[in-house]
Amino acid sequence: MNRRAFLRTTGVALGALALSGVPALAQGLEGEDLANLEKALKEVLGKSFKDLTPSNLIKLTMPAIAESGANVPAEVEVNLPPGQVKAIHLFADKNPTPYLVGFMPMKALPYYATRVRLAETSAIRAVVETADGKLLLASASTRVTVGGCG
Binding site for another protein (CB under 8 A): 4, 7-8, 11-28, 30, 63-68, 73, 143, 145-150
Question: In whole angstroms, how close is the CB of 86 to another protein at the nearest point?
Answer: 27
CB within 8 Å of 93: residues ≥ 6 apart: 31, 32, 33, 34, 36, 37, 122, 123, 124, 125
Residue closer to another protein by CB (options 35, 146) is 146
Q: What is the amino acid identity at position 129?
A: E
Q: Which is nearer to another protein, 43 or 67 (CB)?
A: 67
64/108 with CB nearer another protein: 64
Min separation Cβ 87 and another protein, Å: 25
Which of helix, strand or coil describes residue 94?
coil
The answer to whether 84 touches 106, Cβ cutoff 8 Å, is no
The least distance separating another protein from the CB of residue 142, rounded to whole angstroms, comes to: 10
Give 20 or 132: the residue with its C-beta nearer to another protein: 20
Nearer to another protein (CB atom), residue 53 or residue 71: 71
Q: Where are the beta strands (DSSP E) in the chain?
A: 53-54, 58-61, 72-78, 85-92, 99-103, 111-116, 122-130, 135-142
Question: From the CB of 95, what's the least distance to another protein, in Å?
Answer: 18
Pairing of strands 72-78, 122-130: unpaired
Min dist CB 19 to another protein, Å, is 6
